[in-house]
Structure 1
């Protein structure tokens, strides 16, 4: 009798396991539509290893503004319009504001990258630091820095227009460095800014969908020996280079504070509130790094894209110049308060503010 019960139990367990495994990769009826799936993998085998945004756009045209991808046992919901983003991520932020785990980012940045921070207290601390100290008033106080850096940018563009790509990178990065760390970057070649963009290029390449194995969907892949998992060596190299750059800048701020040579930069103020925010030294380093990641690439890509558009459409450039001449003239530089009187310039800026993936596509290879 006991043997029969044992055999029956084993059969039930095996049957349940087979049923569960056979359901892996399939899309439940209550999920948004998406591309056809295969057992176990779902849509993992369809993920492109480069230019993923093109495939995502193709799927959006086929399945609508909200579709789903099956990533093995997991599910990704893809939002394709501002309306869908506002409806789900803004209006319902209480239930949608968490971030999915990303093992590669976690081991590279010790869990302190704001885009993937998992422990709620870490994310809240980082968000609190930024929201309390990056206020509108603080940004207005930094306008002289932006004006000074813009003056050098104009000089560099006039003297060497063919180097506009790196001139713009230097400008955007130097503004952030000045505001965040109290230092500037007078040239691009051989600077820490060039090193940053080298790191970011490799970091961004590894984070493209399809480049890494599905480490979060199939966790056992994390334990593959490094000789067969090249991503492990790459993550170690990125981590080493990031920490050398980020923590070197933090040490510079710390020495300035110790020597009573403050210049009232952002990270000096963060240092002053370290105990108030209950932050470890490691978090300080990654907060400074996140300011660089958020400000260097976004601003420079936008300006590079804007320049390309103005060159491609000279009639727009001519009309914009006419508006600037009418409001500002030729005897001074633009001021912040001029902006309200330049609706055409405002429209150009908004038109050029296309999604980051498209900007990267249009400026790729320059």
Structure 2
């Protein structure tokens, strides 16, 4: 038998043990941090990966929702040495991101997307501060509910075109939704009266830009987000710098076109660009800021609106019994001898509930967008320190069983009260949270409503059983390149009557 002896520890062994001790201290700092309030961060799922928690590139919201179910409404995950808080329950997100929204109005630093690709001009990536407040105030002034209501005739006119496009080419309904969104938001932003479609060079250029943004935002896509000093090397990120120059030229040209129309006394009707140019002193924006603000409104508004419309149509095809209930309401309120309009909205709670449930069932941006705390935020027994990145996870929030019982079931009735009206005490955060909520939400909601109304009134929607269905495919926040679903559109009354009513529908030039 070999006897175990107490041997002196070698220098190398001491180094190994010392390093292990430092790792243990570091691990305790990472996993059990305390704030100056003496309160811990929210709980963290265990991981032994030095690079932090593993999240799959595709459908990572499933992993996050599982952690929320296991560890609670708030969790802490780690990316390298950075700690990120994810909120996954309704009450917590209201208490933190709505009621304390002023403390979470900032964005974390995003060098590739926010500083190089957009030159620090994109409001979506902009840090909270004076410039952000000025630009956001300009957006809100022009897109508040009363102003948004003035665009309803325009939205009706373009939604009518969507119905006609589906009649002519039902297979490409995604392109028709994109054409609607691009044409309407181009008119709202720049007053453009010439026909606009998804294939227009300007529209394709903006969509290409937003695809570049999505690429730049992927973790690890650009090393500069981990090594900031790379930004100052003249040879680094040339593709991003070229894209910025192309974007700046596109947005500036659009703004200059409106300026020339004003100088020539050409009446092109209201638009956001016209409003900014006429109120330049009121909002104290430079021409570059105005140009990028208009570009942000067009780019973000077109994609989000098109995806929301497609989500509602997919839900109708996936749940024929609920579609039939909506159409029974449409037949009772409107009938089939006149085309519906915005004036019917208050009489259609079941349609409104269906839209709300569709956008809860399949949220537009499942993982949400990053916020950054500018001061310590206390919630119950946890503290989120200043400077922390925070996400409101739309998928997990939409699955909160206390607010949405049977959350995986498609139940539009949950949005309707005992009096048969839309509930005022139930909300889902389709367009974000707090002071970072999408300022164009009122315009977007009207676009989704009028398209859903006209299409469900005009057509019976069914899934094409010969084509694959990916009912998660519209949840990227942007129109996918593939086709998540194929829908058959059958007219609910003679096509000749439908075409006649659409041709007689109000048209705005």
Question: TM bucket by the smaller chain?
Answer: 0.7 to 0.9
- 1:362 aligned partner: 473
Deviation at 1:272, TM superposition (A): 1.3
Match of 2:90 in 1: 82
Q: Whose helix fraction is larger, Structure 1's or Structure 2's? A: 1
For the residue of structure 2 that corresponds to 1:26, the secondary structure is helix
> SS at 1:75's partner residue?
strand
Q: TM-score, normalised by structure 2?
A: 0.62
2:43–2:76 contact (8 Å) kept in structure 1: yes
Structural mapping, 1:97-136, within 5 Å: 97-104=105-112, 105-118=114-127, 120-136=129-145
Matched, 1:63 2:67: no
Is contact 2:43–2:71 with CA below 8 Å preserved after alignment?
yes
Please give the secondary structure, in 1, of the residue aligned with 2:86.
strand
Please tell me whether residue 197 in structure 1 is matched to residue 207 in structure 2: yes
Verify the 8 A CA contact 1:157 1:167 in the aligned structure 2: yes
How many Å apart are 1:294 and its aligned residue? 2.9
The answer to whether 1:245 aligns with 2:245 is: no
The alignment's TM-score, normalised by the length of structure 1, stands at 0.84
1:35 touches 1:69 (CA, 8 Å); kept in 2? yes
Classify 1:357/1:136 alpha carbon distance in 2 versus 1 (closer, same or farther; 3 Å).
closer
The secondary structure found in structure 2 opposite 1:34 is coil
Distance 1:95 1:286 in 2: 25
Aligned length: 343
Q: 1:262 aligns with which of 263, 267, 286?
A: 267
Contact 2:126 2:132 in 1 (8 A): yes
CA distance in 1, matches of 2:201, 2:328: 37
CA distance in 2 between counterparts of 1:73 and 1:252 reads 48
Verify the 8 A CA contact 2:117 2:241 in the aligned structure 1: yes
Cross-structure match for 1:9: none
Q: Secondary structure at the match of 2:83?
A: strand
Pair 1:91-2:115 in alignment: no
Aligned pairs for 1:269-308 within 5 A: 269-308=275-314
Whole-Å separation in 1 of the counterparts to 2:248 and 2:24: 41
State the Cα distance separating 1:222 from its structure 2 match: 4.3
Match of 1:27 among 31, 54, 76: 31
Structure 1 range deviating more: 256-265 or 197-206: 197-206
Q: Provide structure 2 residue ranges, at least 5 long, that are not aligned to the other structure.
A: 1-17, 34-39, 367-469, 475-479, 484-509
1:225, distance to aligned residue in structure 2 (A) = 8.0
Task: Please identify, of 83-92 and 21-30, the stretch whose mean Cα deviation from structure 2 is larger.
Answer: 21-30
Shift of 1:141: 0.9
Asked if structure 2 preserves the Cα contact closer than 8 Å seen for 1:49 and 1:210, the reply is no
Q: What does residue 334 of structure 2 align with?
A: 328
| Aligned-pair Cα RMSD in Å | 2.8
Q: Which residue of structure 2 aligns with residue 7 of structure 1? A: none
